[in-house]
Structure 1
Amino acid sequence: MAQIKKYPLLSQLRSEASSYVQYFRKGKTVRAGRGLSFWFDPTGASISEIPMDDRELNFMIKGQSSDYQDLAVQGVVSWRVVDAQRLGERVDFSIDLKSGRSAGKPQDQIRSVLNGLVREFADTHLKKYGVRELLEKGLAPLQAAINAGFTEDPTLTSMGLEIVSVRVAALTPSSELSRALQAPTFESLQQKADEATFSRRALAVEKERAIAENELNNQVELAARRKELIAREDANARSEAEALAAASRITVEADAEAKIVTAEAEARRIRSVEQAAADMETARMSAYGSVPPAVLYALAAQEFAGKLERIDSLTVSPDMLAGIMNQIKSLVGSTEAQG
C-alpha cells in the first residue's frame, strides 16, 4: 500500500518496489513505474497502484460427473500481473489520495474472474468421466486440465495476468455418495474381517480341542499310573499281610510249642512231686509198720493235739486209762528187751 503524506499545498507519495504506480493528471499519464516516490498536487490528480507480487486464490467449487454425481474441488491458484498498464485499463486500481488505500475492490474482481475460469475448466473435465473413474484417477488429471484451460484461454492474457501454478488439494464426493462408494470396499473388508474372525475362532477351537485332548491324555496316563500305583500298593499290602500272617503263624506255633513244652515240663514236675510224695508216703508207711501200736497212738495223739487250737474239756474213763497204761508197760518192756 502506498504511503501519502499531506502538506499545505502538495502531497508526497511513496510506494513499495512490488507496486506499479500510475500518476494521471487531467487524463494524461504523468508518471508510471514500480516503487515510485514523488510530489503531486492532489487537485486534479488520479493515482492507481497495481500489486506486482504473486498472489494466491483459494477456491472451492462444486461440479458434476458424467453420471450426475456431485463433487467438490478444492485447491489454490497462484497468479501475478505481467502487464500493469493493460490490467490498469481493465480493472480500476485507483487509490484514495488521502489514505493511500484502494478506493475499490480490484482484488475481488480478479478473484471472481479466476474463480469462474477454474469452475469452467474443472466442470468441463468432471463431465467427461464417471465419479468412480474420477476418484480412481486422482487429482493429477484434474489439475492438468485446469492448467491447460488457463493456457488455452485468452482471458487472462488480455487482462495482463499470468497463472504461476495450480494446485488441486481435494476432490471430494458428497457424504451420501462417499458412503455409497465406500460400501463395497467396506463390505469386502468386513467380509475379510469376518473370515479372519472365523479363522481365528476356528484356530481357537482347534487349539481348545488339542488342549482338551492333551488334558484327556494326561488324565488317561494319570489313571493308568494310579491303577499301577494301586496295584503296587495292593501287592505291597498283600505281601505285608502275608508276612504278618506268616509271622503270626510262626508266633502261634512257637507259643503252642512253648505251651506244650511248658505243659510237658509241668506234667513231669507234677509227676515228680507226686512220685516223691508217694515215695515219702511209702517210706513213712514202711517206717510206721515196725512201730508198736502204742507209739502210733501216741504219735496220732500228738499230731491231733498239734492240730487242735483249744481243749475245753477232756474225759478219761478208767477203761481208757487202763488200756493206755497196759500199752505203756508193753512198750517199756519191749524197749528193755531190745536193749
Structure 2
Amino acid sequence: MTTIRRYPGARHFLGSPTGHVVHLRRGRVAHQGVGQAFWFRPSTTVLSEVPVDDQELPIFFHAVTADHQDVTVQANVTYRFTDPVTVAQRLDFAVDARSGETSTAGRDQVAGIVGQLAQSHAADTVAAMSLADAMTAGVPRVRGLLTQVLPADPRLAATGIAVIGVQVLAVRPEKDVERALQTPAREHVQAEADRATYERRALAVERERVIAENELASQIELATRREHLVAQEGANARRTAREKAAAGMIDARGSAERATLATEAQAEQVRAVGAAEAAAEQARMEVYGDVGRSTLVALALRDAARSLPTVQNLTITPDLLTGTLGALLTGALAGDGAPDGPGTAPTGKAA
C-alpha cells in the first residue's frame, strides 16, 4: 500500500512491494520501480502506480444462441501488467501527490477492454450453437476459445497486458427456460426416486412375506414336533401299560404258582397226616380187637367222660349202684366184659 507522508514544503513517498511506481518530475522520469521511496514536491510531480501482481477480472455478459435463446456467460480472467511504464502511459493509474489516493480509472479501463474482447469472441461461439449444445458443451468451448484468443490479442500486448488464465464458470439460459429444461430431468429424477421408493416398499413387503412364511413354517414345524411328541408319549404310555400288565401277569402267575405249591404242600401234609391218623387208627383198632369187652367199655366211658360237662355234685341211688355193680360183676364173671342187663345211666345235678 502506497504511503505519502506530509512535511512542510515536501512529501515523502513510500511504495508497496506489489506496485510499480513511475515518478515524473517536470515530464521526465525521476524514479520508477517496485518498492521505491523518495522525496518529491507536489507542485512539480506526477505519480503513477501500476500493480504488478495477478489481477482477477470477473465477467458477466449475455449472448444469443442459434435458436434465438438468450444465455448468460459467467467467466473469470486472470491477467498481469507486463510493461508497467507502457500501462502507466496508456491507462490512468495516477496517484494524487497530495492525498496519496490512487485512481480506479485504470482498472475500469482494463475491465472494459478485456471484457469486450472476451464477450465478442464468446458471443460468436455461442451464436453458432443451439441452446442444448450451449447447455452441455458451451463451457468447455468458450473456455478453449478465450484461452486461445485473449493471450494473443495484439491490443492487449500493445497495452502491456498479458492474460495468463481464463475460467468459464457457467453458460445458463433464462430462469424460465432453465426451469423448463430442468423439468424433464427433475421428473426423471422424481420417477427414479418413486421407483426406488416402490422397490423399497416391494422389498419390504417381500421381506415381510418371507418372515411370515418363516413364522408359519416354524409354527408348522412346532405342531409337527408336538404331534410326534404326543404320539411318542402315547406309545410310551402304551408300552408302560403293557409292561405293567406283563409284570402283573408275572406276579399273578407267581402268586398262582405259589398258591398251587402251598396247596399241594398242604394237601401232601393233609395226606401225610391222614395216612398217619389212619395208620394210628388202624393200629388202635388192631389193639382194640385183642382186648375184652370190659376194657372197651372202660375206654368208651373214658372218652365219653372227656366230652361231658363238669360235674360238681353227683347223687348215686341204691338202684344205680346195685345195677352197675351187678353188671360189672356179671361181665367179669362171664369173661367177655359185657353186662347181661341194661344199666341205668348215672345222673348228676349241678348245684
TM-score (norm 1): 0.67
Aligned to 1:176: 179
Looking at structure 1, the residues matched to 254 and 326 of structure 2 have their Cα atoms a distance apart, in angstroms, of: 68
1:166 Cα deviation (Å)? 2.0
Looking at structure 1, the residues matched to 183 and 275 of structure 2 have their Cα atoms a distance apart, in angstroms, of: 136
Q: Could you say what secondary structure the match of 1:311 adopts?
A: coil
1:322 Cα deviation (Å)? 1.1
Identity across aligned pairs (percent)? 22
Aligned to 2:273: 273
Aligned to 1:51: 50
Looking at structure 2, the residues matched to 125 and 185 of structure 1 have their Cα atoms a distance apart, in angstroms, of: 31
Aligned to 2:319: 319
Q: How many residues align?
A: 323
Looking at structure 1, the residues matched to 236 and 314 of structure 2 have their Cα atoms a distance apart, in angstroms, of: 88
1:239 Cα deviation (Å)? 11
Aligned to 1:73: 74
Amino acid across the alignment from 1:319: D
**Shift in alpha-carbon separation, 1:20–1:57, aligned structure 2, 3 A:** same
Q: Deviations over 1:240-263 (max 9, x none)?
A: 94x876776666556545544543
Looking at structure 1, the residues matched to 120 and 334 of structure 2 have their Cα atoms a distance apart, in angstroms, of: 194
Aligned to 1:137: 137
Amino acid across the alignment from 1:78: Y
1:179 Cα deviation (Å)? 3.5
Looking at structure 2, the residues matched to 325 and 123 of structure 1 have their Cα atoms a distance apart, in angstroms, of: 190
Looking at structure 1, the residues matched to 303 and 58 of structure 2 have their Cα atoms a distance apart, in angstroms, of: 165
1:205-244 superposed matches below 5 A: 208=210, 241=242
Q: Could you say what secondary structure the match of 2:56 adopts?
A: strand
Q: Deviations over 1:263-286 (max 9, x none)?
A: 344334334433443444444445
Work out which structure has the larger RCO, using CA pairs closer than 8 Å and 6 or more positions apart in sequence.
1
User: Which residues of structure 1 form unaligned runs of 5+?
Assistant: none
Q: Is residue 185 of structure 2 the alignment partner of residue 186 of structure 1?
A: no
Looking at structure 2, the residues matched to 104 and 293 of structure 1 have their Cα atoms a distance apart, in angstroms, of: 190
Aligned to 1:63: 62
Q: Is residue 37 of structure 2 the alignment partner of residue 34 of structure 1?
A: no
User: Which residues of structure 2 form unaligned runs of 5+?
Assistant: 336-351
Q: Could you say what secondary structure the match of 1:139 adopts?
A: helix
**Which deviates further from its counterpart, 321-330 or 111-120?**
111-120
1:46–1:94: 8 Å Cα contact kept in structure 2? no
Aligned to 2:346: none
Looking at structure 2, the residues matched to 299 and 104 of structure 1 have their Cα atoms a distance apart, in angstroms, of: 182
**Shift in alpha-carbon separation, 1:319–1:188, aligned structure 2, 3 A:** closer
**Shift in alpha-carbon separation, 1:168–1:102, aligned structure 2, 3 A:** same
Looking at structure 2, the residues matched to 149 and 181 of structure 1 have their Cα atoms a distance apart, in angstroms, of: 36
Q: Deviations over 1:171-200 (max 9, x none)?
A: 4565736743743763686588579869x9
Amino acid across the alignment from 1:130: S
Q: Deviations over 1:14-62 (max 9, x none)?
A: 546741414253xxx132652266554333x241313151441331415
Aligned to 2:165: 165
Q: Could you say what secondary structure the match of 1:78 adopts?
A: strand
Aligned to 2:101: 101
Looking at structure 2, the residues matched to 258 and 16 of structure 1 have their Cα atoms a distance apart, in angstroms, of: 138
Amino acid across the alignment from 1:74: A
1:231-270 superposed matches below 5 A: 241=242, 256=256, 259-270=259-270
